[in-house]
Amino acid sequence: MTIDATLPGAMPRPARRARPARWEAGIGHGLMILTALICVFPIYWMIVTSLRPENAIFSTRLWPDTASLENYAYALRAVPIRQMLVNTFIVSFTVTVIQLVTGILAGYAFARWRFRGSALFFGAIALTWLVPLQVVMIPNYLLVSRLGMIDTLGALILPHVASAFAIMLLAQSMRSFPSEVIEAARMDGASHAHILWQVIVPNLRGTLASLAILIFISTWNEYFWPLLLSRTPENSVVQIGLQMFITSEGTQWGPLMAASTMASLPILLIYLVLQRQVIASFMKSGLR
């Protein structure tokens, strides 16, 4: 005969969470490795193709028998890639800074000021986010043309001085900012400018960094708007330079892959240096 020694008021111990089996973890890691290889292999093949001589461009070997930098030298001679890379960086950096500033100012206005028609204005900005670039491309072209800015870097920047996505994201982030902190700053006599730039903005560094990365990468990869405005290679961007290796006579695959590698290098460096911020940018890009 056994005696149950459990006290009347004793609570049963919670069951331990079952650990995943080793084979389940192995399958998960295997799928992640396979996915990573699928994503990285096109970049690897681009670099390898850029190192192949012309008579071995279509070889299926994973590494060329005789690696050469001739394709890079030819790409630099045929197209002003250096100047295009500088132009692309100038345009991407300027657009990123301007969109951040306009997004911060507009987001603060929508988040902290209540005025008649604010919801209507915010809804109108949200609707512009749904309008594709191709719809407003011709009106923007006519405006830039009348301003005499065709074939200039300013023309590539002007239509992007404000971003609906940046305004909406920063407005939502500022609305979720603790109102007690702002009220304490106002009681200390702080102005709106001081509250915005000294209190709110320093506490939104993660959101601003994520947004800056998204804007920079998006501007760097833009093709249609520069294609419409560019007239000379010296005032164009690197995406237009890549298209110059594709002609009616055929595609120069070696120089094209070399130029593509040089165009992708800054973005790859951003991914390598700012991996956590890049991942966070995609996680935070959804509006709360």
Report residue 83's pLDDT band, with 50, 70 and 90 as the boundaries.
Answer: very high
134-to-105, 224, 226 alpha-carbon distances in Å = 27, 9, 13
What is the per-residue pLDDT across 259-275, written as a single tens digit (0 to 9) for each? 999 999 888 887 777 77
What is the per-residue pLDDT across 119-134, written as a single tens digit (0 to 9) for each? 888 888 888 888 887 8
Mean pLDDT to the nearest integer, 146-175: 90
Domains plus CATH for the chain?
Answer: 26-68 (no CATH), 79-284 (1.10.3720.10)
Report residue 99's pLDDT band, with 50, 70 and 90 as the boundaries.
Answer: very high
Give the torsion through C-alpha atoms of 50, 55, 58, 62, to 10 deg.
Answer: -60
Q: Cβ(152)–Cβ(144) under 8 Å?
A: no
What does the alpha-carbon distance between residue 89 and residue 220 come to, in Å, rounded to a whole number? 7
Which has more pLDDT, 24 or 204?
204
Predicted confidence (pLDDT) at residue 84 exceeds the cutoff of 90: yes
pLDDT given at position 86? 93
Predicted confidence (pLDDT) at residue 284 exceeds the cutoff of 80: no
Predicted confidence (pLDDT) at residue 288 exceeds the cutoff of 50: no
Q: What is the pTM of this model?
A: 0.80
Average pLDDT, whole number, for the chain? Answer: 83
Token couple for 62? 């994973």
Predicted confidence (pLDDT) at residue 91 exceeds the cutoff of 90: yes
Closest CA to 47 of 68, 33, 76: 68
Token couple for 235? 């005032």
